[in-house]
A = this chain, B = another copy of it.
Amino acid sequence: MLDSVSATSSIDALMLDMGRRARDAARPLAIASTEAKNAALHAMADALLAKEAEILAANAKDLDNARENGLAASLIDRLTLNPARIAAMVDGIRQIAALPDPVGSVMDAWERPNGLRIERVRTPLGVIGVIYESRPNVTADAGALCLKAGNAVILRGGSDSIDSSGAIHDCLIEGLKSAGLPADAIQRVPVTDRAAVGALLTGLEGTVDVIVPRGGKSLVGRVQSEARVPVFAHLEGICHVYVDGSADLEMAKKIVLNAKMRRTGICGAAETLLIDSAVIGTHLMPILEALTEAGCEVRASATVLKVFPGFKPATDEDWRTEYLDAIISVAVVDGVSGAIDHIARYSSHHTEAIIAEDPKAVERFFNEIDSAILVHNASTQFADGGEFGMGAEIGIATGKMHARGPVGVEQLTSFKYRVHGNGQVRP
């Protein structure tokens, strides 16, 4: 008992020290030039290539431990690095270097009748805590994104990836130092103790401005319920595709298939298909056949089963489930109103699509549904910062505050007002 108390308090002290060092690093970082930040990013990429052997050796150690601990095959896959994956990390960092620097960009400017000129200008957020699972590449992605936006970051990766992340982190530090930026700009929690996560979620006495969790529902859920600072995240992506009575059947088939089956494990994958009762006779079966042929399990509502028996029946739980697998729930709804009602009840406010030719249906769908991303006649799998043209993203947020939808470098910034006068006083 005593041991665990003192271990916790030493973890708390370690984390608090990291928070203070991050806060100290944030000030010079906020005014670092674009050139210095980009030089650091390219130096990081170079270091990752130069130290490939060391990184793979560290990864081999993690993989040995993981196999010994009986880690699931899918988790082992995520943990595994190879030259191609290291090259992808390097490429990702160079892409972040190529993005425009958000810091200092003028978002808005106007002049007042009294001659005051007001500008709203992007600034870094400050210090970001990133908590992620055992995917070593997130160390590089998240570190590089936070740096580009002028933020200091504290990285806490999964314990199974501790050595791999450490080797990658060494390269990031090398890049920072070579560009004359503070090494504390990108810190990594060097211990696997879970108390470190708890400490980070307190905000470390006001030194951490925002937490970004990257991982599955249990990680995000814990972060959302325990964090005492703002969180950019989505708990899950229960994404809907609604096929309106006015939909083109071929387009609907193609989009539903892509939205569900292109990759089933991502948050923008469709989980529920809603079909307008007006076209149940013409549109539903061709779509369900295409899904079934592609290997997708269909879970159908009672109304669907009445017309097309033979599918597995959906329970109420199905409408609330993010399968992240080749399974889709299917319900019949009464036009766009019915779709809006179903989505209001079950959606996780991530991404919803409507397939329709009728602009009135699209307008209602776009106006009345309160999700981060609404899509017309395209796949829900476009819900991604890269596909939006934002460059890399650190995740997708479904909250309504500050960042919503893909979180890229711009969303990792705040702003301030600059007021230019020539002697004005307030009457």
The answer on a CB contact under 8 Å between A378 and B414 is no
Known pairs A375-B421, A416-B372; A382 contacts B426 (CB<8 A): yes
9 smallest beta-carbon distances between A and B, as pairs: A378-B421, A258-B425, A400-B414, A378-B424, A402-B402, A381-B426, A377-B421, A375-B419, A401-B402
Residues on B with C-beta less than 8 A from A419 are 373-376, 378, 382
Question: Is residue A134 within 8 Å, beta carbon to beta carbon, of the partner chain?
Answer: no
Across the interface, A426 reaches (CB within 8 A) one of B251, B387, B425, namely B387
Q: Give the A interface residue count (CB, 8 A).
A: 59
The answer on a CB contact under 8 Å between B401 and A262 is no
Mark out the residues of chain A between 316 and 355 whose CB falls within 8 Å of any chain B CB in the assembled complex: 344
Rounded to whole angstroms, the CA-CA distance of A27 and B257 in the bound complex is: 31
Question: Is residue A409 within 8 Å, beta carbon to beta carbon, of the partner chain?
Answer: no
- Say whether chain A's binding surface is mostly helix, strand, loop, or mixed: mixed
Rounded to whole angstroms, the CA-CA distance of A324 and B154 in the bound complex is: 38
Across the interface, A210 reaches (CB within 8 A) one of B382, B389, B401, B425, namely B401
Question: Is residue A297 within 8 Å, beta carbon to beta carbon, of the partner chain?
Answer: no
Question: Is residue A118 within 8 Å, beta carbon to beta carbon, of the partner chain?
Answer: yes
The answer on a CB contact under 8 Å between A371 and B425 is no
Could you say which of A372, A376, A378 has the most chain B C-beta atoms within 10 Å of its C-beta?
A: A378
In the complex, what residue of chain B is closest to A103 when comparing beta carbons?
A: B367
Across the interface, A420 reaches (CB within 8 A) one of B110, B251, B376, B422, namely B376
Question: Is residue A46 within 8 Å, beta carbon to beta carbon, of the partner chain?
Answer: no
Question: Is residue A126 within 8 Å, beta carbon to beta carbon, of the partner chain?
Answer: yes
The answer on a CB contact under 8 Å between A255 and B425 is yes
